[in-house]
């Protein structure tokens, strides 16, 4: 599951942490039945944005794009956290996502008129 989400890239963690994370996170949590992988990613984006784990958030934004989540839906998740984690957290999370979009050449979607 880790390979599927993040490819073969190393996240910079020591080998023992990568093994522990792989077993606990991707073997047990991310592989559980009951939620689609895209829905799990939405939960991860919201949680990482809310607690301001921006380096991990950037990595998950890339994985979310690879899973097929649209840039608009990623931004909407990160805007939504502002209600619960504060608008400063939302602003920082959106900034991290926009940076990933820029690195990948993904256009930032325009806000639709309301």
Please give the pLDDT value at position 98.
Answer: 97
What average pLDDT does the segment 39-58 reach? Answer: 97
Which is more confidently placed, 51 or 15?
51
Contact (CB, 8 A) for 46 and 81: yes
Here the tokens at position 47 are 């949680």
Please give the pLDDT value at position 8.
Answer: 63
Q: How far is the C-alpha of 114 from the C-alpha of 105, rounded, in Å?
A: 27
Supply the mean pLDDT for the chain: 88
Q: Say whether pLDDT at 90 is over 80.
A: yes
| pLDDT category of residue 9 using cuts at 50, 70 and 90 | low
Q: Say whether pLDDT at 86 is over 90.
A: yes
């Amino acid at each position: 599951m880790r390979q599927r989400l993040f490819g073969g890239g190393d996240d910079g963690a020591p080998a023992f942490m990568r093994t522990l994370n792989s077993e606990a996170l991707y073997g047990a949590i991310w592989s559980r039945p009951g939620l689609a992988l895209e829905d799990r990613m939405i939960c991860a984006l919201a949680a990482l944005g809310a607690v301001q784990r921006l380096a991990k958030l950037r990595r998950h934004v890339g994985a979310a794009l690879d899973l097929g989540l649209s840039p608009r839906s990623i931004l909407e998740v990160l805007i939504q956290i502002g209600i619960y984690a504060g608008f400063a957290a939302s602003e920082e999370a959106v900034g991290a996502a926009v940076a990933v979009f820029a690195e990948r050449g993904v256009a930032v979607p325009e806000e639709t008129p309301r």
